[in-house]
Amino acid sequence: MNEPLLKVENLHQHFEISRNFKIKAVNGVSFEIYPGETYGLVGESGSGKTTIGRSIIRLYDPTEGQIYFNYKKISGNLSHKTQRMLRKNMQMIFQDPMSSLNPRKKIGDIIGEGLDIHGLYSNLKERNKIIGDILQKVGLSPAHAQRYPHQFSGGQRQRVGIARALVMNPKLIIADECISALDVSIQAQVVNLMKDIQDDTQCAYLFIAHDLSMVKYISDRIGVLHKGYLVETGTTKEIFSNPLHPYTKSLLSAVPLPNPRIEKNRQLINYNLETDYQNCILSKITETHFVLN
């Protein structure tokens, strides 16, 4: 195999809220993503998915561990040049679309901002065309460029965030629950679009989600996160056909079905083991499949 595009090594991210309350959000997580690959990151609410994304894109300073991107170390202090490379080649689609869109800017300018900074067009007409095209691709219309964020529905706003990331043609997109507010049909449209763009440009995705059916569909490999630890990772097939960690199993058992007669009577397997993962080690099952125990 070729070299990984992103390499996360032993990442720890802790937050000190007060002297006696520290949140250990991420604890020794390692994984790689190859060019053109989609790595799905799943896990319960609060397990550290967003934090990992934000550490990678350097909104946080990692407490411990290294991150390499595009053959460069990007943890620790960044040179101006590396920062610029990062801002062009790595984009994040944020979980909370409203708080990531400047309320006073028109959608067209929000999407165009990255293009402006990196000078990715030769004239205004081209800029507007790029913006109009990408809006159309995510199922909005070029006329929407004139509107402000609050004048959109929740799902429309989420697609603005997607358009803003895709328009930069980055090498890596960190997509944090990026289709969670969309109805199934538009989810399908967006996911198909992301796949097409990947086929065209060989970009890689870190696809953070809790919806396992979508993750299964889009990911090549999957990492399962629990309480800030990566408890299992493997190819999509390995995770779905041979889940080994009890937490992964409980996650798979809970996928809801669009069937009222079944859902109304379903009992969930609740995995609430008070395990302490601190002394666990990742053991190898196959070349690609690892489980923490």
Partner 1 sequence: MDKNIILSIKNLDITFRTNAGNIHAIRGVDLNLPKGKTVALVGESGSGKSVTMKSAVGLLDSNSIINSGKILYRTSEEKIIDLLSLTKKELRQNINGKNIAMVFQDPMTSLDPTMQIGEQIMEGMFIHKKISKSEAREKTLELLKLVGIVDAENRMKNYPHQLSGGMRQRIVIAIALSCEPKILICDEPTTALDVTIQAKILNLIQDIQNKMDLSVIYITHDLGVVAKVADYVNVMYAGKIIETGTVDEIFFDPRHPYTWGLLSAMPDLETDDDRLYSIPGSPPNLLHEPKGDAFAARNKFAMKIDEKKEPPMFQITETHFAATWLLHPDAPKIELPKELKLRLERAGKAAKI
Ligand X SMILES: Nc1ncnc2c1ncn2[C@@H]1O[C@H](COP(=O)(O)OP(=O)(O)OP(=O)(O)O)[C@@H](O)[C@H]1O
Contact of 4 with 56, CB cutoff 8 Å: no
68 binds, among Mg ion, partner 1, ligand X, none (CB under 5 to 8 A by kind): none
Given partner 1, Mg ion, ligand X, none, residue 124, with its beta carbon under 5 to 8 Å by kind, binds: none
CA of residue 153 relative to chain centroid, distance: 22
229 makes contact with ligand X (CB under 6 A): no
Closer to partner 1 by CB, 57 or 182: give it.
182
Q: Are 197 and 30 in contact (CB under 8 A)?
A: no
Which residue, 90 or 208, is less far from ligand X as judged by CB? 208
Q: 95 or 219: whose CB is closer to Mg ion?
A: 95
Residue 120 interacts, among Mg ion, ligand X, partner 1, none and using kind-specific CB cut-offs from 5 to 8 Å, with: none
The yes or no reply on residue 50 touching Mg ion (CB under 5 A) is: yes
| φ and ψ of 254, to 5 deg | -100, 5
Asked if 154 interacts with Mg ion (CB under 5 A), we say: yes
Give bridge partners of residue 64 from the DSSP assignment: 12
| Identity of the residue, 23 or 120, whose beta carbon is nearer to ligand X in the bound complex | 23
What lies within 8 Å, CB to CB, of 102 at 6+ separation is 110, 149
Q: Does 48 bind ligand X (CB under 6 A)?
A: yes
- CA pair distance 175, 208, nearest whole angstrom: 6
Beta bridge partners of 90: 172
Residue 164 contact among ligand X, Mg ion, partner 1, none, beta carbon within 5 to 8 Å by kind: none
Which option in ligand X, partner 1, Mg ion, none does residue 219 bind, with CB closer than 5 to 8 A by kind?
none
Nearest distance from residue 78's CB to ligand X, in Å?
20
251 and 224 Cβ atoms separated by less than 8 Å: yes
Give Cα separations from 85 to 80, 94, 104, 133, 271 (angstroms): 9, 20, 28, 25, 42
Closest residue to bound ligand X by CB = 155
Of the ranges 104-112, 130-138, 146-154, 214-222, which one interacts with ligand X (CB under 6 A)? 146-154
Contact mark string toward Mg ion, 186..215, x via CB under 5 A:
------------------------------
Q: Which is nearer to partner 1, 20 or 122 (CB)?
A: 20
CB of 1 to ligand X, least distance (A): 28
Name the residues that contact ligand X, by CB under 6 A: 15, 23, 25, 43, 45-51, 95, 151-156
Name the residues that contact Mg ion, by CB under 5 A: 50, 95, 153-154
